Structure formats: structure tokens, C-alpha cells
Amino acid sequence: MAEAGVQLDIDFARSHFPALGGGWALFENAGGTLAADTVIARTHSYMTENFVQPGGGYDASAEAARRINESQRLMAEMMGAEPGEVMVGISTGMNVFLLSHAIRGWFEPGDEIIVTNLDHEANSGAWRRLDEFGLTIREWRINPETAELELAELKKLLGARTRLVCFSHLSNIAGGINDVAEITRMVHAAGALVCVDGVAYAPHRALDVKAWDVDFYLCSLYKLYGPHLSLLYGKREHLERAANNNHYFLADDIPLKLNPSGPNHELTAALSGITDYFDILHRHHFRDSNLALHDRIKQVYGLMAEHEERIAAPFVEFLRAKKGVRLIGRQTADKVLRAPTFSFTVAGRRAEEIPAALLPFKLAIGSGDFYAARCIRDLGLESQGGVIRASMVHYNTEAEVARLIEGLDSVI
């Protein structure tokens, strides 16, 4: 049980990110978060003590395999999956590409895949390319006024030939949380599967792939306080049925068969540093340590969500009130409706001018299309250089947000 009224101890959380400091307020976290010290320590200790071929009988080698396997097990638990259902790969873009390759044989010419015009290209381009094999690609398009994917629009697209629907849990531009469980129910009722990009969602809210009943789900760990790696979850029955991307003699090795390069050893071994970090936060804030890891992680995400909402609220107010500013997506900091990934435009200014103008204030924000180029095009924002994006995570502070508001107020 959560202790009543408990709030994230922000100083404690920040003490686990050695790269914080130097006076910079970092608001490009949707591009990549800092790594927790626990992840850095585990990378260092693996490379110091276990940088040998894993899986042999000698001490360093047996320990290397144990660390790698343990990390993979913990990542599956963090996602709410079974061990063996989560593959570690080098990036989400690569994992989607590998998945599309491994399951394209399930589809026949004329079958349909639905992708969106909201998403980062990672969960879109690889699927669109399957038109080379005769598949029909249909687009679930956003409402250009709200930047929302509407369920009524999806309903119109679902049909007898729909095989797969690919969408994001949270747009890295608009920041709104999509109802994955509801969308998945609709898609399953139409006899199709879902592949969900959870990259922008995972730094902010707990993952629960079984509860959502998704078929495939992806997240990138360098945006989740870890190293440059990605997780691909697939239901066991799907991974069994998928074609082998790996050497022929590894065809039965699930999930390794999807990944022809195999996992990066030192960084995979370091992934347990992510769950270490959540656990350290849990011990610091909650008394009940008998909960399962997934439940402890969920409680910690609860603290993060409340903190994010608290620090984001004045920022939303500022953007909404500031003349000439258009906030894209939901006009709220409500943690149920969005994460604090805020994209906006300023009338008469190119997007890249604003981050540049904030550099003297030691404020780091971003601009551009963030590889969601179709979204930026269809919102009509290409000619002004895309959007300006300020993205927060739980280690940002109220004081940093106040500085951001002050900085923006003086340059807009």
C-alpha cells in the first residue's frame, strides 16, 4: 500500500543521475533521458569483471551469463510479460524492422495493415514497406485540429482484410495517452493484431502488456534511464510462429531467433540497473517491500506521474496564455490524459529559433519533426521547421520549469 500523501522526493531521485548538474535544465528527455547511476555502475562492473564469453564454466563467464539472463528476466517483469517474451535489441526502429521481416509471411497479397500519420517513423515505415509484397497499407489519420487519433476513424478502417494495426501509446509530438486496451479490444474484435510503440510512454507510466492484451509492444531504454537498447515484447504464441531471422540452428531459440545480431552483452547486463533504480525509489518512499517487482515499479511510476503533473501544470498554463503560442494536442497537464511532452509553435517564428535563443539561459529544449515527419507535414508545420518541444520527466523540478517559463517569456 502506498503511504498516504507520499510525494516523490525529487532531491533523492536527482541524486541518482550524475549527469544532472552544471546548471543546465534538460527538457529534451523525449529524445533521451539521462542514465541512472545504477545502470552506469552495472555497465562498469560487467566490463570490469565479466567481459568474457558468457556461459562457460569459469567464474567470470558463468557470472556474465547470469547477469545477462537476470536482466532479460527483469525487463520482462517490468513490462508485465513472461520471461522469454521480451527480446533485447539495439533500437526500436531495428526491432520493428526485424519483427516486420519475421511476420510478413503471415500475410497474403490484399491483406491490410493500418498505420498512423501521427507516429514516429519507427512503427510505421517498416510496415508501409510491406506494400512491396502486395499488402495494402491504410492510414489511420489524426484530426488535424486536435492531433488526436479518433476511435471512430479506426472503426471505419477495420475490415475483413485487416491483419495488423500499428500505433503509438503516446505520440512523441502531441503527448496524449491513447487507450491501448480499448484500441486493442476493437482491433482483436475485428480479427487483427496490434503492434504498439510504447517508446514515448514508458518513461512516464507503468507498462502492463498482459493487462492491455497487446500482441507486440516496444520501448527504448535510453529514454527509460538506461542504455541505448530497446525491448520488443511479443505474445509467446506469436514469437513461436514468427519466422527465424537468426542462424538456422537457432530457429527454436525464442526470442533470440528474431535478432540476428544477438544482444549487446554489457548493456544488456546493465539493464537490471533500471529496475535497481525503481527499487531504490520504492524503498525510499514505501514501507511495503513484500510486493512483487511489477507492483513496486507501478507504485514508483505513480509517484512519477503525480510529480510530472505538478511540475507541468504551470507550463501548460503559460503556453495557453502566451500570445502567438499554439500548444499541440491536449490542453492540460492531467496525468491521465497526457505525459509532459509538450510541442508548440510560435507565430511568425521558425521552430529552431527558440531552442537557440534559450541556450544562454542554460535551458535545453528541441525543435524539428522528431522523426514523426508525416505528423508534422499533416499538421501543416513543415514550412516553419516543425514544432518546438519541451519534454519533462520525473527528475525535472518545479524550479527548472519556472526557469523555462521565464526564459520562453523573454524570447517569444
Residues interacting with ligand PLP, by CB under 6 A? 91-93, 120, 122, 168, 172, 197, 199-200, 220, 230, 371
Q: Which is nearer to ligand PLP, 230 or 367 (CB)?
A: 230
Q: In whole angstroms, what is the distance from residue 215 CA to residue 210 CA?
A: 9
Q: In whole angstroms, what is the distance from residue 6 CA to residue 368 CA?
A: 38
Q: In whole angstroms, what is the distance from residue 265 CA to residue 71 CA?
A: 10
Task: Give counts: helices (H), strands (E), the chain.
Answer: 15, 13
Q: Which is nearer to ligand PLP, 197 or 276 (CB)?
A: 197
Which three-class secondary structure state does DSSP give residue 62? Answer: helix
Q: How far is the CB of 9 from ligand PLP (least distance, A)?
A: 28
Q: Which is nearer to ligand PLP, 158 or 393 (CB)?
A: 393
166 neighbors 130 (Cβ within 8 angstroms): no
Can you state the angle between helices 59-79 and 272-285, rounded to 10 degrees?
60
Q: In whole angstroms, what is the distance from residue 397 CA to residue 412 CA?
A: 22
Please report how many Cα atoms fall inside a 13 Å half-sphere around the Cα of residue 190, on the Cβ side: 23
Q: Which is nearer to ligand PLP, 88 or 158 (CB)?
A: 88
Q: How far is the CB of 250 from ligand PLP (least distance, A)?
A: 23
Q: Which is nearer to ligand PLP, 42 or 204 (CB)?
A: 204
218 neighbors 168 (Cβ within 8 angstroms): no
Q: Which is nearer to ligand PLP, 162 or 230 (CB)?
A: 230
Q: How far is the CB of 371 from ligand PLP (least distance, A)?
A: 6
Q: How far is the CB of 96 from ligand PLP (least distance, A)?
A: 8
Q: How far is the CB of 28 from ligand PLP (least distance, A)?
A: 10
Q: Which is nearer to ligand PLP, 361 or 371 (CB)?
A: 371
Q: How far is the CB of 199 from ligand PLP (least distance, A)?
A: 4
76: nearest Cα among 89, 87, 66: 87
Cα–Cα distance list, 351 to 30, 188, 355 (Å): 17, 40, 8
Q: How far is the CB of 57 from ligand PLP (least distance, A)?
A: 35
